[in-house]
């Protein structure tokens, strides 16, 4: 039998995946690969209606709008990164939708926002040096 102290100290969660709703899964996969620097982790269905893309330790799942009641383009994720300026340059030069470059903010982060083809928001940030 485990005590409540054991339950609070034992690792219980092992990971998470953001699920973005998109209009066309394979178009979204190509955008994540070519523009945002992810790689395809998996695709599911014939034709594909669900997929996963990953970059380093971050995985994003993409679900077809035709297979959910949720609307495309309403998702958001904040991704911590080692060098936000270098990442911004990578995404911008690949044609990414990045309205403005990285800025330092009072909450201790330097970050910028990028948007996928459907308007889902990916915020990338690095901790500022104080």
pLDDT tens, residue by residue, 94-114: 999 999 999 999 999 999 999
Domain boundaries, the chain: 17-127
DSSP helix/strand/coil, 113: strand
Is the predicted pLDDT of residue 1 greater than 80, yes or no?
Answer: no
Whole-angstrom Cα distance, residue 128 to residue 108? Answer: 5
pLDDT digits (tens, 9 = 90+) for 17-66: 999 999 999 999 999 999 999 999 999 999 999 999 999 999 999 999 99
In this prediction, residue 9 carries a pLDDT of: 75
Q: Tokens for 30?
A: 């190509």
- Going 101 to 85 to 127 to 59, the CA torsion angle's sign is positive
User: In a 10 Å sphere around its CB, with 0-12 CB exposed, 13-18 middle and 19+ buried, how is residue 61 labelled?
Assistant: middle
Whole-angstrom Cα distance, residue 113 to residue 97? Answer: 9
The DSSP result for 10-60, as a single string, is S-------EEEEES-HHHHHHHHHHTT--EEEEEETTTT-EEEEEETTEEE
pLDDT digits (tens, 9 = 90+) for 70-81: 999 999 999 999
CB atoms within 10 A of CB 115: 15
Q: Name the pTM for this structure.
A: 0.88
b (16+ CB within 10 A) / e for 85-111? eebbeebeeeebbbeeebeeeeeebbb
Residue scoring higher pLDDT (41 or 8): 41
Q: Which fold has domain 17-127?
A: 2,3-Dihydroxybiphenyl 1,2-Dioxygenase; domain 1 (3.10.180)
């Amino acid at each position: 039998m485990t005590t409540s102290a054991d339950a609070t100290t034992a690792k219980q969660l092992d990971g998470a995946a953001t699920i973005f709703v998109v209009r066309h899964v394979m178009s979204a996969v190509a955008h994540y690969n070519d523009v945002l620097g992810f790689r395809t982790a998996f695709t599911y269905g014939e034709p594909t209606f669900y997929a996963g893309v990953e970059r380093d330790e971050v995985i994003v799942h993409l679900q077809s709008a035709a297979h959910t009641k949720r609307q495309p383009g309403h998702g958001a994720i904040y991704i911590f990164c080692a060098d936000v300026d270098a990442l911004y340059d990578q995404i911008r030069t690949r044609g990414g939708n990045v309205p403005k470059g990285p800025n330092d903010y009072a909450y201790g982060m330097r970050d910028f926002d990028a948007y996928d083809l459907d308007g889902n928001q990916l915020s990338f940030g690095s901790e500022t040096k104080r």
